[in-house]
Amino acid sequence: MSSSRRRTAAPPSRGTLERTEATLVDRYAHLVRLAYLTLPPELGRHRTVLVAQALVQRALPSLPRVPAGALLPRQRTDATAVEAEEDWLRARVLRSALAYDRRPRGWPARVPPPRALRPRLPVVWGLRLSPHAGGAEEIALSRALAAVPPAARAVVALRCVDDMPDERVRELLLTVGEQDPDAALATADDLRAHAGADASALLRSAEFDACSVRTRPTDLLRRRRRVRIAGLVAAVTACGTVLTVSSTPTGPPDSSRAHPMRAAQITPAQLVHTPSGSWADTARVDFTAWPARGGRTDDEALLGRALDTWAAPPPGTSVTRTRTTGLLPPTRGAQLLYAGDIDGRAVVLLHDSDRVVRYSEPLGSPDRPALEVARTDEAGVTTAAALVVARRDGAVRYLAAPWIADAQTRDLLRPDTPGRPLHTTKDGITDPVDAPATAGACTGLPVLQLRSSVRIVEKHAFLVTDLGGLTPAHLTHTPSPHTGAPARQPREATGPAALTAWARTACALRGLRDHGVRAVNQWDFAEQDLPERGGRATWSCTRVSTWAGPGDIQVHLRPPGRSATTPARLVARDRSTAACSRFGQHIVARTAWTTAAGRRYLLAAGSRDIRELTVTGDTRATEDGNTLAVRVPKDATLSVRGRTEDGANLRAVGDTREP
C-alpha cells in the first residue's frame, strides 16, 4: 500500500487532535475551496458557501475529553506528519462533499438530501452570501465544472489549487470511496485542456474563494409583502370578510394605457437628420455629428416599424441590450444614422442621447424583427468611429463614421504584418471583416485600423475590435517607464512596441465578448530581470473599461517567449476597480516563479511611483525599488505590499489581507 493511502486512512489520535485542529485552521481556505468546487452546483452560490464552510468546520472527529495538558501540541518538524494531517483532513472534507451529491436511490433530484447529510452550522439569516464575481473566463470555467461529475471537480481542485500529483489524487479518491478514480482523472484532463494554461490562476481567483464573500440582503420587498399579507389575512379572518375578484374583462384594452410612453412616441418625420458636413465644423465629434446615410432614409414604413418595435417590441422580437442599458422608447431628439438593405436584411440605426439602436428585419418579411440597444454615452472620435451594421457567417460589416478617411484590417497575433486595405462604400459600409473566434484555438485576432480625416486631427490612426456589441472596443497601450516615456494617458496601439505587447495578450480579449466593453488599455507598468538569468520580463495591467462605468483589470507577466505570440502569464485580476486608470495610478502585483533548476521564487513588481516592496507571511523580505525576487518554500502563505513615495501602502492585486 502506498504511503499516500496510509496517510489518509488513519484518523488523528487523541494526543494529536489539537495539532490537527491547528492544521485545519492553517489550511482552512484551501479546504473550503476544495469543498466549494466539489459540492453540487444546483445548491446555488449562497448555500454552497455555507455548506462548504460547514463541512470543513465539522471535519474534526468527536473525541472524548482529556485533560488539557494531554493535548499540548508538540513542535511539528516532520513534514510527512504534516502532510498526513492535511491528507486526512482533505479526505474528511472530500468524503462529505461527495456524499452530499450522492442521494439515496430514488431520491428526487430537487429535494435536499437526508438530514444526516445536511450540515447545520453556520447559518445566516437576512443575508445572501456569494464569492466575488469573476470575469468571462471564470464564468466559462464555472459552467464547465458544473457539467462534470463531482469527483472530476475535486480532481481539478486538488491538481490546480493544491498542486497534488496524480498518484496522491488517485489514492485520496480511493480512500473516500470513489469507485472509478481513473475516469475522474481523465475527465479532469479534458476539462483542464479546455480551460487552457490559466486554469490554475482562474481556480485561485476570487470567483471560487468561499472565504472571501460579498453580502447582500435578501428580498426586502418580498419580506415586506409577506408581513403585509400576513396582516391582511389576519384582518380578513377576524372580520369574516370574503373578497371576490372578477376575471371577466370589462372591455377592450386601452393601448395607450398598456404602454404609457406610446402616446408620446415620435414619428419618422420627427427623426433628426444631421447635415452631411457637420462633423468637420463642430467641437463635438461623436454620434451626433453622423449624417443619415443609406438607400432607405426616406422609407417611412420601415422607419415606422423600427420606431414601433423600439417603443413596444411585439411578441417574437429578438431583443438584445448591453448591461445597464434602458429600453425606454425613443424621445423627440432621436436621430437617424442609417437605413438600408444589407446582406438580406433591412437595417435601421438610430441614436437617442446616450444609446444606439439597431433594428433589422428580413427583406420581404418583417415578421421576425431584431432589436439591439447599446449604451454610448460620452462617445468620442475613437469610440464613435464605427458601428456594427450586419453580422453574418462569422463576419461583420461596419458603418464607419464620416470622419474616417482610411480603413485597414490586421491581425493582433501578427504584429510584423502590415494592415490590409478595407474597401468602404460611399455610405461608409465596409466589406465583411472576420470576427474574433469565440471558441477553439486562438490562432488570430482580427482588428480594424482606422485613420481619422486630417480635417479634425492629423496623423491619427487607432485600433478597434469586435467584442460582440454594436460598438467595437478601442484598443490602446501605455508604454513601460523603462522606455523613458513620461507618465501620460494611453496611446494608440499602432506602433511596433504596442503591437508587440498586444500580441502576447490578444487572446484574452475573446473572454470579454458581450460585456459592453468600451475600451481596453494595456499598461506595461514594470520590467524585471528574472532570477538565475531567466531573462527580462514585463509586467502589464490590462484595464477593461465598460460603457456602464466600472472596469476590470488583468495583470500579466510576459517572460521571454519562444515566439512573438507566446501567451503571457495571467497572474492576478480584480473587478470593479479604479486600478490602472487615471483614478488609480499605482499598482502592485506578485506571482510565483519556478526557475529552470526547479527553485521557487516570489516575484513582485509595482508601478513607477512604488519605492519599496515588502513580503510578509511564511517568508519576510523588504526591497527598495519597484521589483522584488525572493526564494520561498512550496505552499508558503504570503502577502505583498508596496509603499509609494508619499508613504501610502498598496496591497498586491489579488491579496485579501490588508497591508
Quick one: average pLDDT of 474-490? 81
The band of 507, judged by pLDDT with boundaries at 50, 70 and 90, is very high
Specify the pLDDT at position 64. Answer: 42
Quick one: average pLDDT of 161-174? 85
The band of 484, judged by pLDDT with boundaries at 50, 70 and 90, is low
Place of cell 525576487: 629
**Tens digits of residue pLDDT in 605-620:** 999 999 999 999 999 9
Specify the pLDDT at position 82. Answer: 64
Quick one: average pLDDT of 267-272? 93
Q: How high is the mean pLDDT of the chain?
A: 81
Strand 473-478, strand 517-529: pairing: parallel
| Weakest-pLDDT range from 67-76, 148-157, 524-533, 641-650 | 67-76
Q: How far is CA 321 from the centre of its chain?
A: 18
Which triple of cell numbers denotes residue 424?
468602404
The yes-or-no verdict on residue 569 having pLDDT over 90 is: yes
Specify the pLDDT at position 66. Answer: 35
Any idea where the domains of the chain sit in the sequence? 3-216, 263-379, 395-585
Written as one string, the DSSP assignment of 55-106 is HHHT-S-------GGGGPPPP---HHHHHHHHHHHHHHHHHHHHHHH-PPTT
Quick one: average pLDDT of 197-219? 72
Between 120 and 480, where is the model more confident? 480
Q: What percent of the chain shows pLDDT beyond 90?
A: 44
Dihedral over Cα of 200, 204, 205, 208: its sign: positive
The set of residues, in sequence order, having a beta carbon less than 8 Å from that of 325 and lying 6+ positions away, is: 355, 373, 374, 375, 516, 547
Specify the pLDDT at position 237. Answer: 47
**Which among 632, 634, 639 has a CA at the least distance from the CA of 616?**
639
Specify the pLDDT at position 329. Answer: 84
The yes-or-no verdict on residue 580 having pLDDT over 70 is: yes
Specify the pLDDT at position 550. Answer: 79
Specify the pLDDT at position 411. Answer: 96
Quick one: average pLDDT of 329-344? 91
Question: H or E stretch including 467?
Answer: none
Which triple of cell numbers denotes residue 649?
501602502
The yes-or-no verdict on residue 76 having pLDDT over 50 is: no
The set of residues, in sequence order, having a beta carbon less than 8 Å from that of 58 and lying 6+ positions away, is: 96, 119
Quick one: average pLDDT of 250-266? 42
> Which segment, 72-86, 88-102, 246-260, 441-455, is predicted with the most confidence on average?
441-455
Specify the pLDDT at position 55. Answer: 87
Specify the pLDDT at position 62. Answer: 56
Between 418 and 6, where is the model more confident? 418
pTM of the predicted protein model: 0.64
The yes-or-no verdict on residue 230 having pLDDT over 80 is: no
The set of residues, in sequence order, having a beta carbon less than 8 Å from that of 75 and lying 6+ positions away, is: none
The band of 136, judged by pLDDT with boundaries at 50, 70 and 90, is low
| Weakest-pLDDT range from 304-308, 501-505, 545-549 | 545-549
The band of 431, judged by pLDDT with boundaries at 50, 70 and 90, is very high
Quick one: average pLDDT of 200-218? 75
Residue 593's Cβ-side half-sphere holds a number of Cα atoms within 13 Å equal to 26
| Weakest-pLDDT range from 305-309, 313-317, 439-443, 485-489 | 485-489
Q: What percent of the chain shows pLDDT beyond 70?
A: 79
